[in-house]
Amino acid sequence: MAMFFGAAAIAVGAQRRVRRRHPNLLRTACGSMEDVYLSSRLSEQQIQTLAREFAEWLDRRGVRTSLGTSNKRVKLFALYLARGGYYHQLGRAEGLSLSATALYLHQVAEFFADEASL
């Protein structure tokens, strides 16, 4: 009987922790209302074309990615160029960590360098 009450007390305590931390899971990072297409001077179709080529380039390197992820990375790179190269501010505005922003920018830059060398 004592074990039953102990298990019930642990379960109630675990539920309290989940409820207390639940709002942290629903928070949204800071965002930007700036129009990507206006600041980068690229149309939506041009960015989608670049994203498709980037996804194919990654696939040739053995990295499988979705078109949506590729689109986000190409948009991030276009914003990086349009804003003068402040990737720490760009990462915060897009809700990414500093290391993820740097990695994504380097991947897209490598893609452009590789395609330009052909």
pLDDT in tens, 82-106: 877 777 777 777 778 888 888 999 9
18 inside domain: no
The pLDDT tens digits along the chain (118 residues) read: 555 555 555 655 555 555 555 655 555 555 566 677 777 888 889 999 999 999 999 999 998 989 999 998 998 898 888 877 777 777 777 778 888 888 999 999 999 999 998 7
Q: Report the greatest alpha carbon distance in the chain.
A: 75
Residues 96 and 103: beta-carbon distance below 8 Å? no
Question: Cα(65)–Cα(59) distance, rounded to whole angstroms?
Answer: 7
53 inside domain: yes
| Containing structural domain, residue 62 | 36-116
82 alpha carbon, distance to own chain's centre: 18
Which structure tokens are listed for 66? 């979705």
65 inside domain: yes
Return left, alpha or beta for 66; rule: phi > 0 is left, psi -120 to 50 is alpha, else beta: beta
Question: Cα(10)–Cα(90) distance, rounded to whole angstroms?
Answer: 43
68 inside domain: yes
Q: How many domains does the chain have?
A: 1
25 inside domain: no
List b or e across 28-46, with b for residues whose CB sees 16 or more CB atoms inside 10 angstroms: eeeeeeeebeeebebeeee
Residues 5 and 71: beta-carbon distance below 8 Å? no
Question: Cα(36)–Cα(75) distance, rounded to whole angstroms?
Answer: 7
